[in-house]
Amino acid sequence: MTSCKWITMGVAAALLLAGVTNGARGQGPGGSVGGWGELRGMTTIRGHVVFVGCSLEEVQKTQPALHHLYQSTHRQGQLVLQVRTIDGFAMWTAPLSPRFTVRCSDSVFRQLTAEENLMKEMEITGGLRTTGTLDIAAVTILS
């Protein structure tokens, strides 16, 4: 955990909402593009990044009191989010998969993991796909 950075950003990590599964990347009718799965619609997640460069298991072992944690993987690395709400609903109402993939520009991913955004609440808006992939459209730092 020493290589991990502690960060708190309100990350709208609702990417995994709506019963996202880790199943095969099926090609559904209509909405499926390039093997990324059917788009389920726009999702807004609020929460904060708690660690960068760590796995979900590492965080859970060292921080057992933290709840609603989700591992997000991007081609530049991974981060662990603590999600507060998804689409305005408290986390206890949303059954999420603990891991999801994000697709976004490198600059947006850097914004999520930037040191100057540590301890800041943020909101993430993006399209959630049936494969567990979140296409991030916007990240807004709230505090």
How many domains does one find in the chain? 1
Range(s) of the domain holding residue 71:
5-141
Distance CA 47, CA 50 (A): 9
Per-residue pLDDT of 66-92, as tens digits, reads 999 999 999 999 999 999 998 877 765
CA–chain centroid gap for 125, Å, is 10
Distance CA 118, CA 115 (A): 5
Decide if 136 contacts 4 (C-beta within 8 A): no
3-state secondary structure of 115: helix
Per-residue pLDDT of 28-60, as tens digits, reads 333 444 455 788 778 899 999 999 999 999 999
Report which of 1, 77, 120, 69 is spatially closest to residue 139, judged by C-alpha positions.
Answer: 120
Going by pLDDT thresholds of 50, 70 and 90, the confidence category of residue 94 is low
Per-residue pLDDT of 107-116, as tens digits, reads 999 999 998 8
Distance CA 97, CA 72 (A): 11
Instruction: Report phi then psi at 140, rounded to 5.
Output: -120, 125
pTM of the predicted structure, to 2 decimals: 0.71
